[in-house]
């Protein structure tokens, strides 16, 4: 069994056997693990090393490409491995056979063989056939973005609901890939006119996986019903949810505001389970929920299977959208969060933008040229960082509402944040219970 929290499992099952469904490992599971190459370790495995590969669109700036690769390296680290090398290839579009072009593939292969890397990680989702071809060429574990994120979620999920959700997403990821994995065996073994020896095997495997998916969906429905009843029993309290990109400081703020003890860590996806606390500020009671962070290219299957966790956001009366302003790509992160909110059906909710980590924000010296034009990009293609006051004005105009700049770590402007929350929550409360005011 892969060691929890340290070793990257990279395939369904890293938490499955002692996970959601009190499920004892069977020969079927061993088979599924073998299909995706999950290794079982009896002793602590050596630290795994990963080679990162990206094929950015032509329009993407150098700065953006390197920022995305930093994020991928951070994800790898969170999963317990170390990124040792990055390969970038600019193509019109990724190669349909091997994602990268032939020459680049040779380069990667030479590096992997020379350095003995444990895996090659792609900053995108691979098609089942790309996965198969790359595996055959590079002869090491091939990990795509969905598999990586799923693995981290599996390591982090604690509650029965979260574990069931992750397991469901893992099997949904596996299902279309079963064919691919077997077809290459067929090719090796099968001759012309020979019945593929994998045929029956594929069908059996598919049936096992489909049965499991159906079972997990049913289980989630039951858990959903329980959660729904629980939420109903909370009465008519105003509900506020912390949302935002991963690692922006949602849990740290939850701890500050709710005196809760929520796991916060400088790793991606520290929180996979939603936590809700009742809070009373200025005699106004409301519920505050901490939720799972969003990330670019979040696997759709994962979003779908995380329905019950996301209900916490969908049913909220007010969103506290937390932003890490010290991150160079914070504006894009805001966009990713807004797009994800649209995807999950939680767009157009009353929102308070909370810019966090101001202690780490450094404004650039904005240089003006003699004609008074402000320089609009840094030499590396990244946007200049305006002073906080200017950002505040821009975002207030955009949101048509106050925004707040805080440092959860240094506890700067937390009082101002509390006041704004009270103001917004009381307005909702007042609307809902006019007779009480
Ligand atoms: N410098 C600085 N660091 C902060 C601040 N707030 C939070 N952090 C750090 O940022 C990291 C992430 O914080 P979390 O609260 O776990 O972030 P999160 O948004 O809950 O992350 P996920 O649950 O992974 O989505 C931790 O190391 C925090 O200590 C802040 O105001 N300034
Ligand atoms: Mg968190």
Structure ipTM? 0.99
Of all protein residues, the one whose alpha carbon is nearest to atom 9 of ligand 1 is 249
- 244 and 151 share a domain? no
Tens digits of residue pLDDT in 295-315: 998 877 778 778 777 888 999
- What is d(CA 302, CA 306) in angstroms, rounded to the nearest whole number? 6
Instruction: Please check whether residue 8 lies inside any domain of the structure.
Output: no
Helix (H) or strand (E) holding 131: helix 128-138
Q: Give the model's confidence band at 42: pLDDT under 50 very low, under 70 low, under 90 confident, else very high.
A: very low
Report the C-alpha gap between 202 and 429 in whole angstroms: 56
Find the CATH number of the domain harbouring 29.
3.40.50.11060
Region 130-153 average pLDDT: 92
**Same domain as 276, residue 151:** no
Q: Strand locations in 257-374, DSSP E?
A: 275-281, 284-290, 318-324, 351-356
Give dist(CA 336, CA 327) in Å, integer. Answer: 14
Asked whether residue 144 is domain-assigned, the answer is: yes
**Any idea which of 114-123, 199-208, 425-434 has the lowest mean pLDDT?**
199-208
Identify whether residues 274 and 415 lie together within a single domain: yes
Q: Is residue 1 part of a domain?
A: no
The average confidence (pLDDT) of the chain is 81
Question: How many Å lie between the centroid of ligand 1 and the Cα of residue 77?
Answer: 16
Query: What CATH number is given to the structural domain containing 418?
Result: 3.40.50.300
Give residue 7's pLDDT band: very low, low, confident or very high (50, 70, 90): very low
Distance 245 CA to ligand 1 centre (A): 11
Q: What is the pLDDT of residues 84-127, one digit of tens each?
A: 999 999 998 999 999 999 999 999 999 999 999 999 999 999 99
Identify whether residues 244 and 124 lie together within a single domain. Answer: no
Which ligand 1 atom is the nearest neighbour of the CA of 252?
15
Decide: 384 and 377 in contact? Cβ < 8 Å.
Answer: yes
Same domain? 302 vs 196 = no
Residue 417 clears pLDDT 80, i.e. is over it: yes
Tell which residue, 307, 314, 316, 317, has the closest CA to residue 223. Answer: 307
Last residue of a domain, one of 215, 246, 271: 215
pLDDT score of 23 more than 50: no
CA 222 from chain centre, in angstroms, equals: 25
Pick 197 or 285 by higher pLDDT.
285
Q: Which two tokens stand for residue 328?
A: 């160079």
Rounded Cα–Cα distance for residues 111 and 258 (Å): 49
* 130-150 mean pLDDT: 92
CA–CA dist 332, 305 (Å, integer)? 25
* Cβ pair 242, 289 in contact under 8 A: yes
Q: Lowest mean pLDDT: which of 27-31, 53-57, 141-145?
A: 27-31
Element (H, E) at 88: strand 81-88
309 lies in the same domain as 414: yes
The model's pLDDT over 214-228, given as tens digits with 9 standing for 90+, comes to: 999 999 999 888 888
In this prediction, residue 190 has a pLDDT band, given cuts at 50, 70 and 90, of: very low
Quick one: which ligand is closest to 292's CA? Answer: 1
Residue 103 lies in a domain: yes
Residue 153 has pLDDT above 70, yes or no: yes
Do 394 and 291 belong to one domain? yes
Q: Which residues pair with 241 in a beta bridge?
A: 289, 319
**Residue 290: what pLDDT?**
92
Percent of the chain with pLDDT over 90: 45
Residue 326 lies in a domain: yes
The residue from 215, 250, 273 where one domain ends is 215
CA-based nearest residue to 320, from 392, 410, 248: 248
Residue 6 lies in a domain: no
- pLDDT value, residue 233: 72
* Res 30 pLDDT > 50: no
210 and 339 fall within a common domain: no
Q: What is the pLDDT of residues 332-341, one digit of tens each?
A: 999 999 999 9
pLDDT tens-digit series, residues 339-395: 999 989 999 899 999 999 999 998 887 555 555 454 444 555 566 788 888 888 888
| Lookup: tokens for 36 | 């995706």
User: CB–CB of 29/55 below 8 Å?
Assistant: no
For the segment 248-258, the average pLDDT, to the nearest whole number, is 93
Residue 230 inside a domain? The answer is: no
Question: Exposed, middle or buried by CB within 10 Å (0-12, 13-18, 19+), for 216?
Answer: buried
Which atom of ligand 1 has the smallest separation from the CA of 290? 20
**Integer Cα distance of 437 and 434 in angstroms:** 6
> 145-156 vs 62-78: helix axis angle to the nearest 10?
40
Q: Which residue from 245, 255, 264, 323 has its CB within 8 A of the most atoms of ligand 1, so it is best to mutate? A: 264
- Supply the pLDDT for residue 371: 54
Ligand 1 pocket check: which of 157, 243, 247, 313 to mutate, most ligand atoms within 8 Å of Cβ?
247
- CA atoms within a 13 Å half-sphere pointing along the CA-CB vector of 195: 4
Total structural domains within the chain: 2
pLDDT for 182: 42
Residues with CB under 6 A from ligand 1: 244, 246-252, 264-266, 268-271, 293, 356-357, 359-360, 407-409
Sheet (strand 141-143) strand order: 81-88, 48-54, 119-122, 141-143
Residue 243 reports pLDDT greater than 90: yes
CA-closest candidate to residue 249, choices 234, 264, 260: 264
* Residue 9 scores a pLDDT above 80: no
Whole-number CA gyration radius for the chain: 24
Higher per-residue confidence, 99 vs 160: 99
3-state secondary structure (DSSP) of residue 75: helix
pLDDT of residue 5: 37
The size of the chain, in residues, is: 437
| Distance from the alpha carbon of residue 103 to the mean position of ligand 1, in angstroms | 41
Using the 3D structure, point to which of 215, 246, 264 is the last residue of a domain.
215
Whether the Cβ atoms of residue 138 and residue 119 lie closer than 8 Å to each other:
no
In a shared domain, residues 159 and 304? no
Classify 325 as helix, strand or coil. Answer: coil
Distance CA 83, CA 67 (A): 14
Residue 66 lies in domain = 16-215
DSSP-assigned letter for residue 345: T
Same domain, 287 and 316: yes
Ligand nearest to the CA of 408: 1
The alpha carbon of 246 and the centre of ligand 1 are apart by a number of angstroms equal to 9
Inform me whether the pLDDT recorded for 167 exceeds 60. Answer: yes
Same domain, 196 and 341: no
Is residue 225 situated within a structural domain? Answer: no
Tell me what pLDDT residue 65 has. 93
Same domain, 180 and 324: no
Residue 35 in 3-state DSSP?
helix
């Amino acid at each position: 069994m892969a060691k929890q929290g340290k070793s990257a499992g990279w395939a369904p099952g890293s938490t499955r056997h002692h996970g959601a469904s009190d499920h004892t490992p069977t020969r079927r599971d061993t088979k599924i693990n073998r299909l995706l190459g999950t290794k079982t370790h009896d002793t602590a495995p050596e630290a795994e090393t990963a080679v990162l590969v990206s094929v950015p669109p032509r329009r993407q700036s150098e700065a953006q490409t390197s920022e995305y690769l930093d994020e991928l390296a951070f994800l790898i680290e969170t999963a317990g491995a170390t990124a040792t090398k990055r390969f970038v290839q600019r193509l019109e579009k990724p190669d349909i056979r091997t994602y990268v072009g032939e020459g680049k593939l040779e380069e990667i292969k030479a590096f992997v063989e020379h350095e003995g890397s444990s895996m090659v990680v792609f900053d995108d989702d691979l098609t089942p056939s790309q996965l198969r071809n790359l595996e055959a060429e590079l002869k090491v574990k091939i990990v795509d973005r969905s598999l990586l994120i799923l693995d981290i979620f599996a390591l982090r999920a604690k509650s029965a609901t979260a574990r069931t959700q992750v397991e469901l997403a893992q099997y949904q990821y596996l299902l279309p890939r079963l064919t691919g994995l077997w077809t290459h065996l067929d090719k090796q073994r099968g001759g012309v006119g020979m019945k593929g020896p994998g045929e029956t095997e594929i069908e059996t495997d598919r049936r096992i996986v489909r049965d499991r998916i159906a079972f997990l969906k049913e289980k989630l429905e039951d858990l959903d019903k329980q959660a729904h009843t629980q939420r109903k029993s909370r009465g008519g309290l105003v509900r506020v949810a912390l949302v935002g990109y991963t690692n922006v400081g949602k849990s740290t703020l939850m701890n500050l505001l709710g005196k809760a003890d929520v796991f916060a860590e400088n790793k991606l996806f520290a929180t996979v389970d939603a936590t809700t606390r009742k809070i009373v500020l200025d005699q106004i009671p409301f519920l505050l929920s901490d939720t799972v962070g969003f990330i670019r290219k979040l696997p759709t299957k994962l979003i779908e299977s995380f329905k019950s966790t996301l209900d916490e956001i969908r049913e909220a009366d007010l969103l506290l959208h937390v932003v890490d302003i010290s991150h160079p790509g914070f504006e894009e992160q805001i966009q990713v969060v807004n797009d994800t909110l649209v995807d999950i059906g939680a767009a157009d909710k009353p929102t308070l933008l909370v810019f966090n980590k101001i202690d780490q924000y450094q404004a650039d010296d904005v240089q003006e040229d003699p004609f008074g034009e402000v320089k609009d990009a840094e030499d590396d293609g990244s946007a200049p960082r305006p002073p906080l006051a200017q950002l505040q004005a821009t975002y207030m105009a955009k949101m048509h509402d106050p925004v707040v700049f805080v440092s959860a770590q240094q506890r700067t402007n937390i009082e101002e944040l509390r006041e704004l929350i009270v103001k917004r929550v009381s307005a909702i409360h007042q609307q809902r219970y006019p007779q009480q005011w």
